[in-house]
Amino acid sequence: MTTTRPNLGTFGVWGGDPVSPEVAVEIENLGYGAVWVSSAAPSDLSWAEPILDQTATLKAATGIINIWNSPAGPVADAFHRVEARFPGRFLLGIGAGHPEVITEWKKPYDALMEYLDDLDKYDVPVNRRVVAALGDGVLKLSARRSAGAHPYLTTPEHTARARELMGPSAFLAPEHKIVLSTDAEAARELGREAVALYLNLNNYLNSWKRLGFSDADIAKPGSDKLIDALVAYGTAAEIVARLQEHVSAGADHVAVQVVERDKMIPVLTALAPELGLERRA
């Protein structure tokens, strides 16, 4: 079994819903290495093939397939279908989601173990899957049973902790939100809108407390300190400096989420030179 870690380039794009093939082409041409989509996308991965078909080297990844409502068997079948057409260009991200929306309770760690066992049974390669991980236990699990981790809504300090726990060979791909604006109050307002849902979810609240944020910081609507840590804003150079902190802390890849989705391509275009990306001809 190969243990080669995934190669998605240093920077990719976390898009929530699947981007159109046309937008995927623009993302690839700007030099970004991957597009990530959320659990809102169909778990049959039908969205991936049009994107991969229209691009040459861009990778597609799930951030994430929710293990509670996407059985491993059909997901594995979809993975193998995509892999057959586009070898090496798809990364399967899985995760336990949010306990608050689970109707049939099972300890998330145990459920992840069972799901990873099933992916083994269905021959999904270890180095072609990652696990959404925040806490120490799941971060270690991700390094043992998958290529590594895809932490969401974290900070470079979390990235450094994850790298320490996972060791040097595991793949680490945190997500980070951005707003291209030098108006701090306007940027924070957009950031609070993007983070609002997660202020109701204990796994994120507990993760932020482990990072040193106080109860007052994580109380709705989130303190300036919390929002500034989770959402990078300012000039393109200032945003890139924040993203590079993840790389310096041990990230292999940073999934950049443009908060203002309708401005995705202009913002990504502004960031690309600062990120040192090479535009495709």
Q: What are the tens digits of pLDDT across the range 153-171? A: 999 999 999 999 999 999 9
Q: What is the pLDDT of residue 281?
A: 66
CB 33 within 8 A of CB 24: no
Hey, where are the domains in the chain?
A: 11-176+242-275
3 — pLDDT class (breaks 50, 70, 90): low
Q: What is the pLDDT of residue 1?
A: 36
Q: Per-residue pLDDT tens for 220-240?
A: 999 999 999 999 999 999 999
> How far is the C-alpha of 136 from the C-alpha of 234, rounded, in Å?
32
97 — pLDDT class (breaks 50, 70, 90): confident
Q: Per-residue pLDDT tens for 22-39?
A: 999 999 999 999 999 998
Q: What is the pLDDT of residue 2?
A: 41
Domain 11-176+242-275 has what CATH class?
alpha beta
Q: What is the pLDDT of residue 101?
A: 56
Q: Per-residue pLDDT tens for 249-261?
A: 999 999 999 999 9
Q: What is the pLDDT of residue 106?
A: 73
Q: What is the pLDDT of residue 99?
A: 58
Stretch 177-184: mean pLDDT, rounded?
98
- Percentage of the chain with pLDDT > 90? 91
Tell me the whole-structure pTM to 2 decimals: 0.96
Res 100 pLDDT > 60: no
Beta-carbon contacts of 42 under 8 Å, excluding residues fewer than 6 positions away, are none
Mean per-residue pLDDT of the chain = 95
Map the chain to HEC letters.
CCCCCCCCCCEEEECCCCCCHHHHHHHHHHCCCEEEECCCCCCCCCCHHHHHHHCCCCEEEECCEECCCCCHHHHHHHHHHHHHHCCCCEEEEEECCCHHHCCCCCCHHHHHHHHHHHHHHCCCCHHHEEECCCCHHHHHHHHHHCCEECCCCCCHHHHHHHHHHHCCCCEECCEEEEEEECCHHHHHHHHHHHHHHHHHCHHHHHHHHHCCCCHHHHCCCCCHHHHHHHEEEECHHHHHHHHHHHHHHCCCCEEEEECCHHHHHHHHHHHHHHHCCCCCC
Stretch 68-92: mean pLDDT, rounded?
97
103 — pLDDT class (breaks 50, 70, 90): low
CA distances from 159 to 57, 123, 149, 152, 194 (A): 27, 29, 10, 10, 21
